[in-house]
Amino acid sequence: MNQTFIRTDGRSCDQGRPVQIIRHFTKYAQGSVLIKTGETTVLCSAMIDETVPSFMRGEERGWVTAEYNMLPSSTKTRKKRDRNGKTDSRSVEIQRLIGRSLRSIIDLNKLGERTIKIDCDVLQADGGTRTASITGAFVALYDAVQWLLDRKIIEENPINSFVASISVGIFKDMPILDLCYEEDSQAIVDMNVVMNDKGEFIEIQGTGEQRPFSHKELEALLSLAKEGIEFLISEQKNALGIK
- Using the predicted structure, report yes or no on whether residue 3 has a pLDDT greater than 80: no
Superfamily of domain 19-240: GHMP Kinase, N-terminal domain (3.30.230.70)
Q: What is the distance between the alpha carbons of residues 138 and 194, in angstroms, rounded to a whole number? A: 12
Average pLDDT in the 44-48 region?
Answer: 98
90 is in an annotated binding site: yes
23 is in an annotated binding site: no
At 137-191, the pLDDT tens digits run 999 999 999 999 999 999 999 999 999 999 999 999 999 999 999 999 999 999 9
Sign of torsion, CA 13 131 44 78? positive
Average pLDDT in the 23-47 region?
Answer: 98
Range in 4-13, 191-200, 218-227 with the lowest mean pLDDT: 4-13
Q: What is the DSSP letter of 56?
A: G
- Using the predicted structure, report yes or no on whether residue 192 has a pLDDT greater than 80: yes
Q: Which of 62, 219, 231 is nearest to 162 (CA)?
A: 231
CB–CB of 187/209 below 8 Å?
yes
Answer whether 0.85 is exceeded by the pTM. Answer: yes
CB–CB of 105/69 below 8 Å?
no
At 48-81, the pLDDT tens digits run 999 999 989 999 899 999 999 999 999 999 998 8
Give me the DSSP letters along 81-125.
PP-TT---HHHHHHHHHHHHHHHTTB-HHHH-S-EEEEEEEEEE-
Give me the DSSP letters along 125-167.
-SS-HHHHHHHHHHHHHHHHHHHHHHTTSSSS--B-S-EEEEE
CB–CB of 43/36 below 8 Å?
no
Spell out a b/e string for 42-71, using b for 16 or more CB atoms within 10 Å of the CB, else e: bbbbbbbeeebeeeeeeeebbbbbbbbbbb
Confidence (pLDDT) at 1 = 45
- Using the predicted structure, report yes or no on whether residue 84 has a pLDDT greater than 90: no
- Using the predicted structure, report yes or no on whether residue 207 has a pLDDT greater than 60: yes
130 is in an annotated binding site: yes
DSSP, collapsed to helix, strand or coil, labels residue 224 as: helix
Q: Which of 158, 146, 151 is nearest to 110 (CA)?
A: 158
* Residue 4 pLDDT level (bands cut at 50, 70, 90): low
Q: Which of 103, 134, 101 is nearest to 120 (CA)?
A: 134
